[in-house]
C-alpha cells in the first residue's frame, strides 16, 4: 500500500523510533513471554515463539532480554496476559485494527476507546472492519538483498504468495500458517530478513489526504504509546506527495 513504508521512515527521521525503543523492546518481550507460556519454552518446538524471537532479533533486541522473556514464562508469579483485538474507524473512515495483550481487559478497553474518541475515531464492534483485511505472513528484505527478479524467484521457490519490490526494499507475502516454513527457506537463500511477522493485510484501502493523514498519524501514535497495545494496523492509502508533506512537518 502506498505510504506505509514511508510512514516508517518518517517515524525514524522524527526520532520517534529512538524515543520508543524501550517501549518496543517491552512489547516484543511480552509477545515472547506469552508465546513461551502458551507452548514450549524451546523455540525449536514452538513455532509462535520462534517467530516472536525472529521479530525481536530483527528489531535488535539483545539476546539477554530475549532469554529473560522466555524464562519469565515459567515464573510462578508471572502476569497472565489476555490477547484482545479491537476494531474501529479513524479519520475519513479509515479502518483500524488494534492488537493488545493485557492483564486488565477493562483498563485496556477504556483506554483504547478513549484514544479513538480523542483522535477523531470511533471504536467499533468486533468484526466491524476485520472483513477488510486478511491474516498473512510478511517477510521484509532490504533492497540490497537482490533485484526484483532474484527476490521473486526465491519467494516462489520458498512457497510465498506475492512480492512487492520498491526502492525501500522487498516485502514478501505468504499464508499465515506458512510463515515459519517460508521465512526459513528464504533465509537459507537470501540471508536473514529485516522483519518476519504475522500481519493484517488490507484487501481494500481508504485514500487519505494530507489533513486526514495528520489526524491518523496522531491516532496511531497515541494507540502505540499504550503499553497494552502490541500493534496497530490500518488500511490507509496515501500518495507520495502527502507522505512527503508529513515528512517535512
| 3-state SS track over 173-237 | EEEHHHHHHHHHHHHHHHCCCCEEEEEEEECCCEECCHHHHHHHHHHHHHHHCCCCEEEEEECEE
pLDDT digits (tens, 9 = 90+) for 194-206: 889 999 999 999 9
Cα–Cα distance, 241 to 28 (Å, whole number): 33
Give me the domains of the chain, ranges plus CATH numbers. 4-72 (1.10.10.200), 82-131+204-248 (3.30.70.980), 133-202 (3.30.70.980)
Residue 66, C-alpha cell as written in the block: 530475549
Residue 112, C-alpha cell as written in the block: 483504547
Q: How confident is residue 59, by pLDDT bands cut at 50, 70 and 90?
A: confident
pLDDT digits (tens, 9 = 90+) for 205-220: 999 999 999 999 999 9
Strands 236-237 and 206-207: parallel
What pLDDT is attached to residue 147?
A: 95
State pTM to two decimals.
Answer: 0.86
What pLDDT is attached to residue 73?
A: 85
Cα–Cα distance, 98 to 115 (Å, whole number): 11
Tell me: pLDDT of 7 over 70.
no
Decide: 209 and 93 in contact? Cβ < 8 Å.
no
Tell me: pLDDT of 22 over 50.
yes
pLDDT, mean over the chain = 89
What pLDDT is attached to residue 24?
A: 84
Tell me: pLDDT of 239 over 60.
yes
Q: How confident is residue 1, by pLDDT bands cut at 50, 70 and 90?
A: very low
Q: How confident is residue 39, by pLDDT bands cut at 50, 70 and 90?
A: confident
119-129 average pLDDT score: 94
Tell me: pLDDT of 8 over 70.
no
Decide: 137 and 175 in contact? Cβ < 8 Å.
yes
Amino acid at each position: 500500500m502506498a505510504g506505509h513504508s514511508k510512514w516508517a521512515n518518517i517515524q525514524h527521521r522524527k526520532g520517534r523510533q529512538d524515543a520508543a525503543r524501550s517501549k518496543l523492546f517491552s512489547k516484543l518481550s511480552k509477545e515472547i513471554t506469552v508465546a513461551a507460556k502458551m507452548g514450549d519454552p524451546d523455540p525449536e518446538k514452538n513455532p509462535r515463539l520462534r517467530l516472536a524471537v525472529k521479530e525481536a532479533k530483527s528489531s535488535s533486541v539483545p539476546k539477554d532480554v530475549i532469554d529473560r522473556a522466555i524464562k519469565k514464562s515459567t515464573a510462578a508469579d508471572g502476569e497472565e496476559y489476555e490477547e484482545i483485538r479491537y476494531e474501529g474507524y479513524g479519520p475519513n473512515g479509515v479502518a483500524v485494527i488494534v492488537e493488545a495483550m493485557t492483564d486488565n481487559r477493562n483498563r485496556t478497553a477504556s483506554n483504547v476507546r478513549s484514544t479513538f474518541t480523542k483522535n477523531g475515531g470511533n471504536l467499533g464492534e468486533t468484526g466491524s472492519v476485520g472483513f477488510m483485511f486478511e491474516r498473512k505472513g510478511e517477510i521484509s528484505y532490504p533492497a540490497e538483498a537482490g533485484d526484483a527478479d532474484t527476490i521473486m524467484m526465491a519467494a516462489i521457490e520458498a512457497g510465498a504468495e506475492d512480492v512487492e519490490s520498491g526502492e525501500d526494499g522487498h516485502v514478501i507475502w505468504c499464508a499465515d500458517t506458512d510463515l515459519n516454513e517460508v521465512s526459513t527457506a528464504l533465509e537459507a537463500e537470501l540471508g536473514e530478513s529485516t522483519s518476519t511477522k504475522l500481519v493484517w493485510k488490507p484487501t481494500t484501502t481508504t485514500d487519505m489526504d494530507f489533513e486526514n493523514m495528520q489526524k491518523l498519524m496522531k491516532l496511531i501514535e497515541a494507540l502505540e504509546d499504550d503499553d497494552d497495545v502490541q500493534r496497530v494496523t490500518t488500511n490507509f492509502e496515501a500518495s507520495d506527495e502527502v507522505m512527503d508533506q508529513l515528512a517535512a512537518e
